Structure 1
Amino acid sequence: MQSITGKVTFLEKSGTGPPNSTGAYELDLDALDNWSLAWKQMSVRTDIFCSASVILPDVAGRQLNVGGWSGESTEGVRLYTPDGSPRVQGPNDWQEDVDILKLQDGRWYPSVMTMANGSILVVGGEEGSNGAAVPSLEVLPFTGTPPLYMDWLERTDPNNLYPYLFVLPSGGIFVSYWNEARILDEKTFETIRILPNIPGAINDPYGGRTYPLEGTAVLLPQRAPYTENLGVLMCGGSTEGVSNALDNCHGVAGFGLATDPNLNALLYDPRKPAGKRITVMANTTIPRLYHSEAITLLDGRVLISGSDPQDGVHDQEYRVEVFNPPYLHKNLPRPTFTLANIDWAYDETISFTLGSAATNGRIEVSLLGSVASTHGNSMGARTLFPEVQCSGRSCTVVSPPDAHVCPPGWYQFFVLDGGIPAVGVYVRIGGDPARLGEWPEGPFTRPGMEFPGNN
C-alpha cells in the first residue's frame, strides 16, 4: 500500500522471505539511487501472513493491519503512522500489543473496509493455518457488541476467504464471496437483498471468485452527478476440484497451478461496448502469480510486486517493477497544479491552480481511494470523477456529496489534461467521523482529531 507520504509499504510473512526478514518495509521511490536510503526496514511482532490492511481516515493516514497466520497473530491489530519525507526516513515503526488491542475473533484471510460511518468492518476468515471457518464479522473500534454470526459465511467455507466488500452509494454494504453476493444493512448487518449468483464457467456454474478460487473485484468509476448505478467488475477465478480458470474472464493466481502465466497487462474500459472493453497492452518478462500485487502510484505508474506460486516451477519473486500506462507514452506535456486544501468536507467547492492553461484537451479530475492490496483484493479501492470547472489556470472541483458515494478516507487526487495526468497528491475526504484519531488506548500513537494544515 502507498502511504499518504508517497512511500510504499510492503508487508510479508516474517522469517520466511529473504534472510533476516522482519516482515515490514517501506520504499521511498524518490531515493532509488541509494539502496539503503530507499528501503526502510521495519518490524511486526506477530506473523502477518495472509492478513488484511486498510488506510484509516484519521489525520495521519495510519495504516491498519489485522489478522494473521496462526496463534495470537490471528488476533493481531497493528498500526503504523507514516512519517519522514522524500529521501528522509522517519523513526516510526509498526505498533502492536495483543494483550491490549486485538480482534475478538482471530482471523486468517479476512477482509477489512472503512464503512460510511468511518468505523472499520472486519469480515470472515479462518482460525489460522487452514483451520475452521470464522463465520462472523466485527467492528473496530470495539463497540461492546460481540462478533456477529453470518450463516452464509459458514455455509460457503472454505471458498469465501477475502470476501469483496464495498459501500454502496444508495446505502448498505455489498459483499461477494464464492459465487454469491448480497447487500447488508450497514447498521444491523442483516441481509437486505440476496443477489443472483455470479456466473462461473460455461461448463461449471459453481466456479468462484474469492480465495482460494482466486479472482479479483474492482468498482467501476463513479462520475458526477453520481446518478448511474455503481458497477462491480469481477474477473478471474476458477472452478472447484480440477481448478480450471473461468472461461468468461480468464485468470487464476496459480497456487500450485502455474501453467501458461499471462505476461500481458490488460486495460478494461467500461465506456466501450460490451465485448470490446479489454485491450492487450505491454508485457513483462516476470510471471506474476499467487501473492503478486499492483497499486497505482502518485506519478501515474503502476507498481507490481511479488509472486509465490508454490508450484516447484517458478521461484518466489523479490523483484519490483513498474508499468507505464499508455498515457505516459503520448509525448504530451503533463499538467501541473497547486492545491492548498487537502482536507475536504462533502459537497464542498475547492479551488486549485494549474501551472499553465490546458494544452492537451479538457481538464478532468479523478480521485482514487487509497489501497491496501493482497490476494487480488484491493481494500479501499474506489474511483471517482467529480465535477470540475476551469477558467484559464483557475479551477474548482466539487467534492463528492456524501459518505456512501465516497466513504471517508484518503484519496489520490489527479488533474488530467486530455487524459494525461499530473503527479497526484493525497487528499482526505469526509473527515474522521468515528474519531479513529483518538483510538486506541495504550502504548499506541494517536494523531488526534486536529488536521495539521488547520493549525
Structure 2
Amino acid sequence: MGLCKVSGRVDRILFNIFLVLVAQSAIWQYNSPGLQLVVAAGGGSWEVVVRNAGIASMHTAVTHFGNVVLLDRTNIGPSLLPLPNGICRDNHRDQASKHDCTAHSALYTPGTNEVRPLFIFTDTWCSSGQFRADGTLVQTGGNLDGFSKIRTFTPCASGEDCNWVETETNLQQGRWYASNQQLPDGTAIVVGGRGAFTAEFVPANGRGQYHLPLLTETNDAQNDNFYPFVHLLPNNRLYIFANRDSILYNWEQQITLKRLPTIPGGPRNYPSAGSSVMLPLSAADDWATAEILICGGSEFGAFMDPRARLPASQTCGRILPLAANPEWAMENMPMRRNMGDMILLPTRQVLIINGAENGSQGWGFASNAVLNPVLYNPALAPGTRFDTLTATNIARVYHSTANLLPDGRILVAGSNSHEFYTFSPMFPTELRIEAFSPPYLAAGARPAIVAVPGALGYGQNFVVEVEYAAVPRGDIELNLLTAPYVTHSYAQGQRLLQLGVGAPVRTAAGGYAIATRAPPSAVILPAGYAMLFAVANGVPSEAAWVHVT
C-alpha cells in the first residue's frame, strides 16, 4: 500500500527512461567484485552472497531441493533480471509496463549462488502461499489480474527446467494480503485479505467461503488485520490473530470456539507489522503444549500519519491458547521493531531479524532501520531470553524476507519501500541477497546426518545415523522444521517439532545411531517435506530432507 502514483503518459515515458538509466548504473554497482563479510562481538556473521539478484524478493520460499523461490510484484515495471530467449510479458492490465521482457520471479541456488529467471504472468503483489504434500508451492491471490489467481510451482533440481503455472481454477473471493495454512486434510485454508472477511480452502473440495467475525470486528480505520497470523494447533484447531485479538477456530465445522484476551499495546498485523511464531512442539509432552509468540508492531495511527514516524513496539507477548484461562505474558525486546521476521532455528530458538524502529509498513512510511538481529531463547527465564547479535550494514525494511536454509544459515532478501524500483533515496530497492550465520555455526564441531529414511509414515519408528567429532553432552536432538512461505514479516506454515530420541548408540563406523519416531499424525505435522536437523551440544547439522506422509 503506498501513496505516490506515477500517472500520465509523459510521466510514464520519463519514468521508464529513468529506470533504464538507473538499471545500468545499478548493474555496475551491484556486480562490483568482492563480498561483504561482517563479523563482530555481538555473535554471528553476515555475507553478501548475491550482489545483484535482479529482483527484490517480496515473497521467498525454500524448496525441498534446497533452492529458493524469489518472487516480487509483476506490476512494477522492468526489473534488472532479463527473461531468457526473448521471452516477454504482454499484459494490458499492467500499469508500469505493458510489454516487459524482465523477470519478476527467480530460483536461487545456495552454494553456487546462481539466480535463474522464472516467468510469472499475473500480479503477485502482497499474495500468499503454502507448500502442499507433494512439495508443490501453491501461491494465491495478489492484485489486479492476480486478485483471484491460484498459481503453482513444482520444484526441480537446479539446472533442470521448472516454472510457474497459472491454473484455470480461481479463488472464490479475490484476496490481497491474505494468509495461508496447510491443513491435515491436505488442503490449505486461505484467511482474510483486504476487504475479505472470510476464509476458504484450496482446493475447495466442494466447500464455499466462511465468514470470520474476527476479521470484521478487527477491521479498524487503518485495516490492521491484513496478513492475519494463522497457526495449526496440536488439537486440530486454528489459532487466528488479527490486529490485537485472536480466536480458536474449528476449521472443519467453520465455527469460532473461543475469543482470547486482547494483547496489550498497539496493533500487530499489517500495516503495523509485528510477527508471530508457534513455539516448538515436543514429543516430550505428547505434543500437547502449544504456545504462541508475537513480537513487535506499531502504534495505532502510524500508517495513517506516516510523517509522524511513530515509535514501533518494543514488546513480545506469549500465550498458551489451549489453557483453561489463557493470558498474555509480556516482555521487552532489546530495541523497538516493526517489520521484523521471526524464524524458528534448529536449536529451538527464535531469530528476530530485519525491520525498523519507527513508522509502519507502506511506501516510505518507516525510518531507523534495525540492523541487529536478536536471538530469543524461549526456554530461559523472563529477562534473560534476548541476545543482540552482529549488525548488517544493509537496511531490510518494507518487502524484505528471511528464510532458514538447510545449511543452518538465514537467507535475507528484498526490501523495497517504493512503488517501483528506486535506487537513490533512503532505503533504496535492495537487490543484494545476504546470508546470516547464527552464532551456533561458530560454536564448535557440527554433527552430520549420514543416514535417514527419505520417506516417513506417521508414527513410524526409524533410526538416524549421525557422525560427530566431539562427545555429545546428553542426547543428540532431532528437530523437524517445515519450509514456510515468507512475506510481510510472517512465515506462513512455519513449524518446528522436537522428536523424541533414545540415547545415542555408538556404531561400528564410530558414529551414533539415534532411535526416534515420526510425528503421530497430520495434525501435528501436515503431510509434506521437512528439514531434519541433528543438534549436538547446541550445534546443528546440515538438514536432511524427509517426506512425511
TM-score band w.r.t. shorter chain: 0.7 to 0.9
Where 1:403 maps in the other structure, the secondary structure is coil
How many Å apart are 1:360 and its aligned residue? 4.3
Are residue 347 (structure 1) and residue 459 (structure 2) matched?
yes
Report if the CA contact (8 A) 1:167-1:407 is conserved: no
Report the Cα distance in structure 2 between the residues aligned to 1:395 and 1:48, rounded to whole angstroms: 44
Give 1:108's aligned amino acid: W
What is the DSSP-based 3-state SS (H/G/I as helix, E as strand, rest coil) of the residue aligned with 1:184?
Answer: strand
> Which letter maps to 2:530?
Y
What displacement does 1:356 show? 4.7
SS at match of 1:353: strand
- Out of 386, 397, 408, the residue aligned to residue 499 of structure 2 is 386
**Contact 2:445–2:469 (CA under 8 A) maintained in structure 1:** no
Query: Who is 1:76 aligned against?
Result: 149
In the TM superposition, 1:191-210 aligns within 5 A as 191-200=256-265, 207-210=266-269
* Per-residue deviation, 1:275: 2.0
Are 2:402 and 1:280 equivalent residues in the alignment?
Answer: no
**Counterpart-to-counterpart distance in 2, 1:422 and 1:116:** 29
What one-letter code is carried by the residue in structure 2 that aligns with 1:142? A
Partner of 1:234: 294
State whether structure 2 residue 429 is matched by structure 1 residue 316: yes
1:149 is matched with 211
Match of 2:233 among 148, 153, 168: 168
1:368-408 superposed Cα distances (whole Å, 9 cap, x missing partner): 11111000110111111101122112222211222222222
Q: How does 1:11-160 map to 2 (within 5 A)?
A: 11-16=71-76, 18-19=79-80, 20-32=101-113, 38-58=114-134, 61-70=135-144, 72-84=145-157, 88-97=158-167, 100-126=168-194, 133-157=195-219, 158-160=223-225
Q: Deviations over 1:291-342 (max 9, x none)?
A: 1110110000111111123495211111110111111112x22111223412
The alpha carbon displacement at 1:276 in A equals 1.7
Amino acid at match of 1:44: I
> Which residue does the alignment assign to 1:211?
270
Cα contact 1:14–1:21 (8 A) shared by 2: no
Is 2:365 aligned against 1:257? yes
Counterpart position of 2:284: 225
Q: Does 1:335 align with 2:447?
A: yes
Distance in 1 of aligned mates of 2:209 and 2:516: 40
For structure 2, which runs of at least 5 residues remain unmatched after alignment? 1-60, 81-100, 303-309, 317-335, 340-359, 420-424, 507-511
When structure 1 is superposed on structure 2, of 149-158 and 174-183 the one drifting more is 149-158
**Root-mean-square deviation (CA), in Å?**
1.7
Aligned residue among 245, 250, 273 for 1:180? 245
Larger radius of gyration: 2
1:420 aligns with 2:539: yes
- Farther-moved stretch of structure 1 (160-169 vs 346-355): 346-355
- Find out whether 1:289 has 2:354 as its counterpart: no
AA partner of residue 130 (structure 2): V
Indicate yes or no: 2:258 matched with 1:190.
Answer: no
Give the match's secondary structure for 2:231. Answer: strand
Unaligned runs of 5+ in 1: 33-37, 127-132, 201-206, 432-455
Deviations 1:266-303 (A, max 9, x none): 00001111122111011100111111110110000111
Q: In structure 1, what is the Cα distance between the partners aligned to 2:526 and 2:128?
A: 18
Q: Which residue of 2 aligns with 1:451?
A: none
Q: TM-score, normalised by structure 2?
A: 0.71
Structure 1 residue 423: Cα displacement: 1.0
Whichever residue aligns with residue 236 of structure 1, its letter is G
The CA deviation at 1:259 is 2.1
Kindly state the Cα deviation for residue 103 of structure 1 after the two structures are TM-superposed. Answer: 0.6
AA aligned opposite 1:107 = R
> Distance in 2 between the 1:340 and 1:222 partners?
21
Q: Distance in 2 between matches of 1:177 and 1:411?
A: 28
Which is worse superposed, 402-411 or 159-168? Answer: 402-411
CA-to-partner distance for each residue in 1:103-155, whole Å, 9 max, x for gaps?
A: 111111111110122211011112xxxxxx11111111122222112232123
Per-residue deviation, 1:258: 2.7
Q: Deviations over 1:178-206 (max 9, x none)?
A: 00000111211210111001111xxxxxx
SS at match of 2:111: helix
> Alignment partner of 1:96: what SS?
strand
The 2-side partners of 1:107 and 1:263 are apart by: 32
| Corresponding position of 1:365 | 478
Number of residue pairs matched by the alignment: 404
- How big is each residue's C-alpha offset from its partner over 1:138-175, in whole Å with a ceiling of 9 and x where there is no partner? 11112222211223212322211111111111221110
Query: How far has the Cα of 1:415 moved from its partner?
Result: 0.9
What is the CA deviation profile of residues 44-78 of structure 1, one whole-angstrom value per residue up to 9, with x for unaligned ones?
110111100111112xx1111100112x3111101
1:409 to 528, 542, 548: 528
* Matching residue's letter, 2:65: T
2:489 aligns with one of 362, 365, 376: 376
The verdict on how the C-alpha distance between 1:229 and 1:394 changes in structure 2, with shifts beyond 3 A counting, is: closer
Q: Does the 8 Å contact 1:210/1:237 carry over to 2? A: yes
Is the contact between residue 174 and residue 184 of structure 1 (CA under 8 Å) also seen in structure 2? Answer: yes
> Which residue identity lines up with residue 135 of structure 1 in the other structure?
F
State which drifts further: 287-296 or 143-152.
143-152
Normalised by the length of structure 1, the TM-score is: 0.85
Name the aligned partner's letter for residue 505 of structure 2.
Answer: S
Q: Is the 8 A contact 1:226 1:405 kept in 2?
A: no
> Per the alignment, in what secondary structure is the counterpart of residue 435 of structure 2?
strand
Q: Which residue is equivalent to 2:62?
A: 2
Note if contact 1:15-1:21 (Cα within 8 Å) is conserved in structure 2: no
Cα distance in 2 for partners of 1:167, 1:232 equals: 11
